[in-house]
């Protein structure tokens, strides 16, 4: 739909995903986006927009997306694959300050995170760019590490940033 | 793979692996660095060795442990798959944001109520 000469409008340098483990029970993921936080917040909280980018592994696509941004509001995400299988999570909105901050609980239908997790998202804007920090707090360290083992939980699967460092140093 | 994760999930063992990043070390040296007792360190090294994460070489009467890269490579490939999911998601989000920015520019300061 766009002119061919307009290729690659996405700046590679704004896109480094950083994963850290701020404490024994947390995994934090940071990413910078080249847009105002008002737009980033919008893209992150509007179901029609979220469905366009928040995919699961392989062919899994976001099919159900409910995000009631009121304290106590319902959160429901469901991904489906071409075979018609689904995996989902439910939660409750704890805090929503547009376009700065979102706090909500999450629990997967097949509870592979060892209980509910608390997700805190912070949107910080600086010079037209927005840094999004998504921190997932697990019920215990065992739960966090357990989530890593089952491998389905998004943040936890990448929590071993120190391992990546380790691998680099061994190469 | 699960064995690798289980071996690494224990904090002292993770520390041992991190210590061995710098190169092979004798047991006595690790005991000193970790502030653990020798039997504990030996026990952890046994688990790491069973998981294939370390190997041992005997030099005179000293046992020297070193890291084996294979199980860590396997783990890295596995983690990489999940990292790619998010990288992919965020690249798509970048594109959505570009579109929103363009739309706003075109729409000027006109405010439009959308049905969300």
**Farthest-apart Cα atoms in chain A, separation:** 51
Q: Which residues of A touch B21 (CB under 8 A)?
A: 166, 169-170
> At CA B32, angle to CA B26 and CA B38, rounded to 5?
70
Q: Is A151 exposed, middle or buried (0-12, 13-18, 19+ CB in 10 A)?
A: middle
> What tokens appear for A14 in the block?
């704004």
CB proximity A18 to B under 8 Å: no
- Whether the Cβ atoms of residue B104 and residue B97 lie closer than 8 Å to each other: no
Q: Which residues of B touch A17 (CB under 8 A)?
A: 83, 86-87, 90
CB contact under 8 A, B93 and A53: yes
CA distance B55 to B5: 17
ipTM summary value: 0.73
Query: What's the confidence (pLDDT) of residue A59?
Result: 82
CB contact under 8 A, A15 and B90: yes
CB proximity B61 to A under 8 Å: no
**pLDDT digit string, tens, across residues A33-68:** 999 999 999 999 999 999 999 988 778 899 999 999
CA distance B78 to A156: 13
Query: What's the confidence (pLDDT) of residue A164?
Result: 46
- Burial readout A156-171 (b: 16 or more C-beta within 10 A, e: otherwise): bbbbbbebbebbeeee
CB contact under 8 A, B96 and A43: yes
Q: Which of A48, A160, A170 minimises the CB distance to B67?
A: A170
**Farthest-apart Cα atoms in chain B, separation:** 81
Candidates A100, A109, A131, A133; CA nearest to A119 is: A133
Q: What are phi and psi of A11, to 5 degrees?
A: -80, 120
CA distance B82 to A155: 9
Candidates A20, A15, A16; CA nearest to A135 is: A20
Give me the total of CB pairs closer than 8 Å, taking one residue from chain A and one from chain B.
103
- Whether the Cβ atoms of residue A106 and residue A116 lie closer than 8 Å to each other: yes
CA distance A134 to A124: 11
Candidates A29, A35, A34, A30; CA nearest to A14 is: A34
Q: pLDDT tens track of chain B, all 116 residues?
A: 778 888 888 889 999 999 998 899 999 999 999 999 999 999 999 999 999 999 999 988 899 999 998 888 887 777 777 677 888 899 999 999 999 999 988 886 555 544 44
Residues B50, A163, A44, A93, CA torsion sign: positive
Query: What's the confidence (pLDDT) of residue A148?
Result: 57
CA distance B97 to A152: 27
């Amino acid at each position: 739909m766009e002119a061919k000469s307009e290729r690659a409008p996405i700046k590679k340098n704004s896109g480094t995903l950083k994963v850290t483990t701020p404490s024994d029970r947390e995994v934090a993921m940071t990413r910078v986006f080249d847009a105002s936080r008002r737009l980033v917040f919008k893209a992150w909280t509007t179901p029609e927009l979220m469905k366009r980018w928040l995919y699961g592994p392989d062919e899994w696509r976001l099919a159900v997306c409910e995000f009631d941004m009121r304290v106590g509001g319902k959160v429901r995400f469901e991904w489906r694959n071409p075979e018609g299988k689904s995996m989902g999570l439910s939660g409750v909105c704890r805090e929503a300050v547009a376009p700065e901050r979102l706090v909500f609980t999450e629990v997967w239908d097949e509870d592979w995170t060892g209980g509910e997790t608390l997700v805190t998202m912070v949107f910080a804007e600086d010079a037209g760019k927005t840094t999004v920090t998504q921190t997932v707090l697990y019920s215990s360290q065992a739960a966090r590490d357990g989530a890593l083992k089952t491998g389905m939980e998004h943040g936890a699967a990448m929590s071993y940033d120190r391992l990546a460092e380790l691998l680099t140093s061994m190469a | 793979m699960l064995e690798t994760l289980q071996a690494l999930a224990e904090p002292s063992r993770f520390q041992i692996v991190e210590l061995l990043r710098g190169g092979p070390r004798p047991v006595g040296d690790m005991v000193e660095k970790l502030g653990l007792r020798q039997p504990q360190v030996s026990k952890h090294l046994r688990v790491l060795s069973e998981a294939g994460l370390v190997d041992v070489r005997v030099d005179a009467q000293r046992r020297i442990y070193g890291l084996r890269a294979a199980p860590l490579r396997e783990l890295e490939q596995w983690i990489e798959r999940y990292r790619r999911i998010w990288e992919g998601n965020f690249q798509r989000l970048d594109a959505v944001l570009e579109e929103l920015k363009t739309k706003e520019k075109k729409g000027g300061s006109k405010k439009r109520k959308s049905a969300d």
